[in-house]
């Protein structure tokens, strides 16, 4: 079997849904599991409605609710001009009622926990999949019966073992050649049945999880670009599709901000050795990217990515001088506050490190102040240059520094692995930096790699 995941822009309206249905029908012999995102902008609107409710503006929240439900009914009516099938009509009504109740509850308590937010957010994927399943005449499976996660609402972690047996129990019986099954990306549930989400953009991760659990032969990510490009085309219009990527390169690009893939997507695919392809829903016969374990691209530079905003913390302490164990006690503080660190650079009496912009810093800074002084620089961006033979190729760093000569580089990281060179720049410098690097590295060949 194969997994076909379609993102929000691929199911934006009835015309898009028809294209998705046509692609799933074309692949019917492979027994596709179709994993859908919410329709374009729906997740953002659900977040907004929940926040309005929390602020006590129930009218505004319910207005957004009406907009979401009307838009989905509009798509369904376009697909079923002779009238909605009873089951679909009931499902849409039930989801509308559930969202209404959730928003009223949030407004009444003026309290929006991460758990409530996940319950609200799940409505998006549940709506889109109901419509597509009815249009395709396919089985609809509630992903929450399969994707068992922990209770970190908003960015839950899957329990792989249970997920495998739940997929065998709740998905496998419906799958087979000649049949399509439709389920949701992004959502899961804890053992006690509370709805969770895998983090924004998490449907890619769901697709990989389902693919690994079911032993798929291909995990297809259908989106609005012809595969993974040499840079985000919205920033660098000259970016070109990449035909083949190694798992390592793809994982690194996703982790450093290439939004085309959720950062965790590659991990289940690597473990199960399943190729991932990234394709354009509107140009199904156009170019696409294949990501496999076997691919050796041999390229010094494959692509650029950027992640921001991030915050740089510079921790300074005289205790660092000739002291062993300083870094251990420093990172213990980060672990205690569950704040993860990306880039690190050390000097004699200071350490610079980057954390997510929304990391809860107040309590962390208070703890750190016990043994160090901390400088905080917000609104920064990490720029990553990724290529399988980056470290082995003379001239790449020279080319990078040349391209960035007008830009202030605040932090550099290279060498932790062979394939990633990262810079921290101010957020406003990120676009010019990416454009300059793309012109210097991707638009003319970089020197030969050393064996």
Taking residue 80's Cβ as centre, other Cβ atoms within 10 Å add up to 16
d(CA 87, CA 313): 54
Secondary structure of residue 445 in the 3-state scheme: coil
Which residue of 30, 43, 190, 196 would you call a contact of ligand ASP, by CB under 6 A? 43
Q: Does 10 bind ligand ASP (CB under 6 A)?
A: no
CA angle 262-152-34, nearest 5°? 40
Which residue of 209, 258, 411, 430 would you call a contact of ligand ADP, by CB under 6 A? 258
Which residue of 85, 105, 154, 233 would you call a contact of ligand ADP, by CB under 6 A? 233
Smallest distance, Å, CB 383 to ligand ADP? 12
Q: Which residues contact 30 (CB under 8 A, 6 or more apart)?
A: 1, 2, 177, 217, 218
45 or 314: whose CB is closer to ligand ADP?
A: 45
Taking residue 264's Cβ as centre, other Cβ atoms within 10 Å add up to 22
Q: Does 303 bind ligand ADP (CB under 6 A)?
A: yes
Q: Tell me the CA distances in angstroms from 3 to 14, 207, 269, 360, one per residue in order.
A: 22, 6, 12, 36
Q: Does 41 bind ligand ASP (CB under 6 A)?
A: no
CA angle 366-367-370, nearest 5°? 95
257 or 300: whose CB is closer to ligand ASP?
A: 257
Interface mask toward ligand ASP for 193-212; x: CB under 6 A: -------xxxx---------
Inter-residue contact 46 to 107 (CB < 8 Å): no
158 or 300: whose CB is closer to ligand ASP?
A: 158
43 or 196: whose CB is closer to ligand ASP?
A: 43
Smallest distance, Å, CB 434 to ligand ADP? 10
Contact partner at residue 334 from ligand ADP, ligand ASP, Mg ion, none, CB < 5 to 8 Å by partner kind: none
Q: Which stretch binds ligand ADP (CB under 6 A): 2-10, 114-122, 123-131, 175-183?
A: 2-10
Q: Does 201 bind Mg ion (CB under 5 A)?
A: yes
Which residue of 185, 188, 211, 257 would you call a contact of ligand ASP, by CB under 6 A? 185
Smallest distance, Å, CB 124 to ligand ASP? 6
17 or 400: whose CB is closer to Mg ion?
A: 17
6 or 334: whose CB is closer to ligand ADP?
A: 6
Which residue of 1, 3, 4, 8 would you call a contact of ligand ADP, by CB under 6 A? 8
Beta-bridge partner residues of 33:
3, 181
DSSP assignment of 200-217, as one string?
A: TTTHHHHHHHHHHHHT-S
SS3 for 115-132 is HHHHHHHHHHHHHHHHHH
DSSP assignment of 341-390, as one string?
A: EEEEEE-SSEEEEEEETTS-HHHHHHHHTTT-EEEEEEEEEEEEEE-TTT
Which residue of 19, 98, 224, 244 would you call a contact of ligand ADP, by CB under 6 A? 224
245 or 425: whose CB is closer to ligand ADP?
A: 245
Smallest distance, Å, CB 114 to Mg ion? 21
Q: Which residues contact 354 (CB under 8 A, 6 or more apart)?
A: 310, 311, 312, 313, 341, 342, 343, 380, 382, 411, 424
d(CA 204, CA 300): 27
Residue among 396, 436, 403 nearest 420 (CA): 396
DSSP assignment of 211-276, as one string?
A: HHHHT-SEEEEEESSSSSBSS-TTT-TT--B-SEEEHHHHHHHHHTT-TTS-TTTHHHHHHHT--E
d(CA 225, CA 33): 21
158 or 201: whose CB is closer to ligand ASP?
A: 201
Which residue of 223, 314, 381, 422 would you call a contact of ligand ADP, by CB under 6 A? 223
Q: Which residues contact 444 (CB under 8 A, 6 or more apart)?
A: none
Number of residues located near ligand ASP, criterion CB under 6 A: 12
Q: Does 123 bind ligand ASP (CB under 6 A)?
A: no
Name the residue number minimizing CB distance to ligand ADP.
Answer: 7
| 144 HSE (CA, 13 A, CB side) | 16
Q: Which stretch binds ligand ADP (CB under 6 A): 220-228, 307-315, 362-370, 429-437?
A: 220-228
Beta-bridge partner residues of 356:
310
Q: Does 38 bind ligand ASP (CB under 6 A)?
A: yes
Q: Does 300 bind Mg ion (CB under 5 A)?
A: no
Q: Does 387 bind ligand ADP (CB under 6 A)?
A: no
Residues of this chain that interact with ligand ASP (CB under 6 A) are 7-8, 37-38, 43, 124, 185-186, 200-203
Would you tell me which residues interact with ligand ADP (CB under 6 A)? 7-10, 37, 201, 223-225, 228-229, 231-234, 258-260, 303
Name the residues that contact Mg ion, by CB under 5 A.
7, 201
């Amino acid at each position: 079997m194969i997994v076909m995941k379609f993102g929000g822009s691929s199911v934006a309206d009835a015309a898009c849904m028809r294209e998705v249905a046509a692609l799933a029908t074309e692949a019917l012999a492979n027994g596709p599991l179709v994993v859908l995102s919410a329709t374009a902008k729906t997740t953002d609107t659900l977040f907004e409605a929940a926040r309005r409710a929390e602020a006590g503006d129930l009218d505004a929240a319910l207005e957004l609710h009406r907009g979401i439900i009307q838009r989905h009914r509009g798509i369904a009516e376009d697909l079923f001009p002779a009238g909605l099938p009873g089951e679909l009509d009931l499902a849409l009504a039930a989801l509308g009622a559930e969202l209404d109740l959730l928003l009223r509850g949030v407004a009444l308590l003026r309290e929006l926990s991460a758990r409530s937010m996940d319950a609200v957010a799940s409505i998006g994927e549940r709506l889109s999949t109901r419509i597509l399943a009815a249009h395709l005449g396919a089985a609809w499976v509630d992903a929450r019966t399969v994707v068992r996660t922990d209770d970190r609402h908003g960015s839950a972690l899957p329990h792989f073992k249970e997920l495998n047996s739940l997929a065998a129990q709740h998905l496998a019986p419906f799958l087979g050649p000649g049949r399509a099954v439709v389920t949701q990306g992004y959502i899961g549930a804890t053992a006690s049945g509370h709805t969770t989400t895998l983090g924004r953009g998490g449907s890619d991760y769901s697709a990989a999880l389902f693919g690994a659990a079911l032993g798929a032969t291909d995990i297809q990510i259908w989106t609005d670009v012809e595969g993974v490009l040499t840079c985000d085309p919205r920033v660098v219009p000259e970016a070109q599709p990449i035909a083949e990527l190694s798992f390592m390169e793809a994982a690194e690009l996703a982790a450093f901000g290439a939004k085309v893939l959720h950062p965790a997507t590659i991990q289940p695919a690597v473990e199960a050795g399943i190729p991932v392809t990234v394709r354009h829903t509107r140009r199904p016969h156009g170019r696409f990217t294949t990501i496999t374990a076997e691919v050796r691209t041999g390229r010094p530079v494959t692509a650029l990515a950027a992640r921001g905003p991030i915050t740089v913390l510079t921790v300074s302490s005289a205790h660092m001088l000739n002291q062993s164990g300083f870094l251990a006690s420093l990172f213990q503080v980060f672990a205690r506050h569950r704040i993860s660190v990306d880039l690190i650079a050390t000097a004699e009496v200071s350490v610079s490190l980057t954390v997510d912009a929304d990391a809860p810093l107040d309590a962390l800074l208070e703890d750190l102040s016990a043994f160090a002084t901390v400088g905080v620089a917000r609104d920064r961006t990490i720029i990553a240059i990724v290529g399988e033979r980056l470290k082995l190729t003379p001239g790449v760093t020279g080319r990078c520094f040349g391209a960035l000569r007008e830009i202030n580089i605040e932090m550099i990281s290279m060498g932790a692995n062979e394939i990633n060179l990262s810079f921290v720049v101010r957020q406003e410098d990120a676009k010019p930096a990416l454009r300059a690097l793309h012109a210097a590295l991707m638009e003319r060949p970089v020197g030969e790699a050393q064996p």
